[in-house]
Structure 1
């Protein structure tokens, strides 16, 4: 064997032992190529680990999942807890990427694999973003360079878990539905105020969860997690989401709707911890804090494996039979808790740029005090689930996403006519500028009508007796803040296709009023109640048209129908 080949083998053997974060003394984060080679080497070296491709990404490279299983079975196992660690959804926040590499290496080399846990790690979710390396987070203290927040189509992937514009998101959802984890750790770096804490995080908003799952995590898992983090030297606080300029006035828990990883996972009774290391702490501190979080999560998941498995099973069963579902939530500021917060003095001084007062934090002036924390949410809009929904096959992308997310759909075997509840969109609001490529509809007002409509062979019935009910209802009910309607999947029904010429319809309208006493009475009643309407000939013609057989019945009719 020649010397060059020996050197190559030695370099490969050594590679899995160190990463650029370590060789640079915490100044660098791993590149995409380094990350994938690292996990490939671990795959080759250890029988208890495998690196699999779970789909593709918008940039054409595969999305990987690294699986560790003590019994060498690399698939979901009913008697084991599945933990998913999601890294690099925002590659400019890379501490989870580096921490996970060192963490799994230690688990495998020291053979400290728990027998009741299957560990899944997404090395880098936003592959597109990590390849777009540079400097883009001016508020962040290291590393020297890193990836970009958005993917190659400029989507923020942590807003893409319902609309699924990216291939990354579609691949991730397929992976999630295959593994159906009990718990996720999604690794991030914070933005915002300055304070002493290095580790902040938020769990899935507790009030949205099945009570059994929520109570366990709120009263047992989370307090023990906080204790282990504090013991490791990382006294945590809830993710700092301050109302005012500084956090000591109090702040609220994060309302994670389904567009986010944690809100999406909660639809399937999976707890997510979004860990946010403080941006102004040095990079080694942030990596070590993330490592400590991963260690603590694994320790507690091993300790509470039986409860995690049982609680999720019961929650899945409960959601299948649950009748009433909140669609949106609002913060109840009459209910406040308090937390111990370690901050820096917030002060003001003249700006060297503008000469006006500017905020700064005096790190020589520290404080520790109890501050208000608001984390009680109550339902804002609540609906009774139907027996089922009927979706015409023409809405193919909606049907495809339901299937990707484990929803069972039954195709109609033949053409039928059936009485359904149909929604009409009475009102909605849309922004003037796009958000993540969409104009999100809010303030949706509905009118419900019973109609007998034709449906065709190949249209789909979605019964609401499934463990995926929250996904079904929160995406298909148009008033949901992250419904498919909100994300513009059905915007074509908002456009009218036919109308009338006033000079022609005048005579038709007069004839309709002569023949229809009920319509004439409705018109007169409206004129009495609405002075502006009474003075507008155009408005009166429109009213008659809307209440005539000539009206376009599909206009503003939401094309997903309820079977009561």
Structure 2
């Protein structure tokens, strides 16, 4: 075998050598990256960016023919950086194999070389490494290959694609540090779907498209259209929405479009005025076919970045500048589809739904030998479910919470200042929860909280050491998302302030009985008490709730109970 052919052969993955029956283990990465470096000196560099809880180095491969193999060089040269991520869910591992194939081919052929002259690619083959090494043949029973694969969660049983905001996993913190260092203009996150059997082979979603900076959304639509068009030209059947049935396991129920919240990669990066693209190859397509589709997307996106990346960067920097000016800002914190739908021709397969003597439910069976067009509803009109107008000034985190919140803000690259002197009786807006619901079970290691309430004018003593987090900064949307309590991915919603909703002081019943009789001398209060008795049978039947009516009106009541610690300021 000629030397050059032997060198290229050494760059083939275990997946390729096995005919895409298998995928390689973590041990494949370091030697393979070393082979890339030996074959393409000056165009490839390994970067270790963290360590997993089980002690495995987290590896990235930096690839470019521009000479800018470090983040500082890429920034100085104003080159677009693409971060290509595989294996955030380690059972959905085609991104790993696709990335090595795509980069090898780009380093070898002329079109790829030309693109790499103008683009830097930071390739993370496996994000969830510890989960990847929990290899098993049936970790993904609803998936067609490879023979063995990793699992969705990490060794700490955390889902990294629910962790972009709260940053609980060590892997998440390492990844965000990598992102902060390289500042990729596009973050490409490669997965495989769950769900039904149908002909469509990939779903591609991106943001900013539905939400975010207006100019970036307009540009994002063009990126999405071009990427989907190139996939169709390559023979794929791409979808611009994630194909989850409205009614589980019922194809006739149709689909609803969605906007991902920022716990997901697809919802997070628009808060930084950068693009994220979610790729979901269809799990029932053969593994080799899924790898090829992911490879096509990587190569297509790199080519687009080479042609258009300068404009992408310019628009992103302009969005940063607009946010830094502190202009009035409304942020949509959650979305929902309306009742309007359109009927689409969805390329599925023939199927039957029959009663099951095993489960007692309905059994759906697909016949993938019989292609069939499903005429089903698509609910793709999306409207805000929760929105917030940003304060003109920003948010104040009290000194008692400053250390824990500052650590998270540092991870996210959010700017803040520490108050050097106390500001007494400052004019602020406070949020007191009218109702609080703490989740009965944990979710991703957190007890989530859901509250109702509203901001209202207030005065507050702001102690030295408190954090002022200004709105006037490039990541203004991220600031609002973190601190607006009604958002599904706010720090409050993730349980960061649950102690604020826990009563610590109590009034003994015999004392409350005496207090009640004193308070009932007030005719207005006595009237309110009687109205509550008449209108609320549960209240009337509960001696403890009746006494709480008076206790919470006493001067000894906990003023801070249900009071969100963070306040808003207009200056």
Aligned to 2:399: 393
The answer on 1:480 being equivalent to 2:487 is yes
Shift of 1:192: 0.7
Give the alignment partner of residue 291 of structure 1, picking from 277, 291, 295. 295
Aligned to 2:447: 439
Over 3 Å counting, the alpha-carbon distance change for 1:349 and 1:328 in structure 2 is closer
The answer on 1:420 being equivalent to 2:428 is yes
Determine if contact 1:262/1:273 at 8 Å carries over to the other structure: yes
Aligned to 1:551: 557
Shift of 1:157: 0.9
Determine if contact 1:57/1:166 at 8 Å carries over to the other structure: no
Over 3 Å counting, the alpha-carbon distance change for 1:537 and 1:20 in structure 2 is closer
Aligned to 1:377: 382
Deviates further, 364-373 or 546-555: 364-373
Q: How many residues align structurally? A: 549
Determine if contact 1:528/1:534 at 8 Å carries over to the other structure: no
Gaps in structure 2 of 5+ consecutive residues: none
TM-score, normalised by the number of residues in structure 2: 0.89
Shift of 1:271: 2.1
Aligned to 1:524: 527
Describe the superposition over 1:7-41 as per-residue Cα deviations: whole angstroms up to 9, x where unpaired: xx999956742211111111111211102321233
Aligned to 1:4: none
Query: What is the SS of the residue equivalent to 1:429?
Result: strand
Aligned to 2:101: 102
Q: Distance in 2 between matches of 1:304 and 1:52?
A: 26
Aligned to 1:5: none
Over 3 Å counting, the alpha-carbon distance change for 1:12 and 1:423 in structure 2 is farther
Matches within 5 A, 1:463-542: 463-511=470-518, 520-528=523-531, 530-531=533-534, 532=536, 538-542=544-548
Determine if contact 1:207/1:376 at 8 Å carries over to the other structure: no
Give the alignment partner of residue 405 of structure 1, picking from 384, 405, 412. 412
The answer on 1:324 being equivalent to 2:330 is yes
Q: Distance in 1 between matches of 2:566 and 2:116?
A: 46
Q: Distance in 1 between matches of 2:427 and 2:305?
A: 49
Q: Distance in 1 between matches of 2:206 and 2:342?
A: 16
Determine if contact 1:15/1:38 at 8 Å carries over to the other structure: no
Over 3 Å counting, the alpha-carbon distance change for 1:216 and 1:205 in structure 2 is closer
Query: What is the SS of the residue equivalent to 1:458?
Result: coil
Determine if contact 2:258/2:337 at 8 Å carries over to the other structure: no
Determine if contact 1:476/1:484 at 8 Å carries over to the other structure: yes
Describe the superposition over 1:169-196 as per-residue Cα deviations: whole angstroms up to 9, x where unpaired: 1111122222222212111111111111
Query: What is the SS of the residue equivalent to 2:210?
Result: helix
Aligned to 2:31: 37
Aligned to 1:83: 82
Over 3 Å counting, the alpha-carbon distance change for 1:47 and 1:421 in structure 2 is same
Q: Distance in 1 between matches of 2:455 and 2:296?
A: 52
Aligned to 2:128: 126
Q: Distance in 2 between matches of 1:523 and 1:507?
A: 15
TM-score, normalised by the number of residues in structure 1: 0.90
Gaps in structure 1 of 5+ consecutive residues: 1-8
Query: What is the SS of the residue equivalent to 2:50?
Result: strand
Shift of 1:246: 4.2
Query: What is the SS of the residue equivalent to 1:233?
Result: coil
Over 3 Å counting, the alpha-carbon distance change for 1:536 and 1:229 in structure 2 is closer
Query: What is the SS of the residue equivalent to 1:206?
Result: coil
Shift of 1:93: 0.7
Query: What is the SS of the residue equivalent to 1:142?
Result: coil
Over 3 Å counting, the alpha-carbon distance change for 1:351 and 1:529 in structure 2 is closer
Q: Distance in 2 between matches of 1:176 and 1:357?
A: 45
Determine if contact 1:202/1:253 at 8 Å carries over to the other structure: no
The answer on 1:300 being equivalent to 2:304 is yes
Shift of 1:339: 4.9
Query: What is the SS of the residue equivalent to 1:382?
Result: strand
Shift of 1:561: 1.2
Q: Distance in 1 between matches of 2:191 and 2:483?
A: 30
Q: Distance in 2 between matches of 1:424 and 1:356?
A: 45
Q: Distance in 2 between matches of 1:252 and 1:280?
A: 21
Aligned to 2:116: 114
The answer on 1:23 being equivalent to 2:17 is yes
Matches within 5 A, 1:154-233: 154-204=157-207, 206-218=209-221, 220-233=222-235
Determine if contact 2:436/2:501 at 8 Å carries over to the other structure: no
Q: Distance in 2 between matches of 1:501 and 1:357?
A: 55
Aligned CA-pair RMSD: 2.6
Q: Distance in 1 between matches of 2:533 and 2:513?
A: 21
Give the alignment partner of residue 62 of structure 2, picking from 57, 64, 67. 67
Determine if contact 2:333/2:385 at 8 Å carries over to the other structure: yes
Describe the superposition over 1:94-113 as per-residue Cα deviations: whole angstroms up to 9, x where unpaired: 11100101111222233344
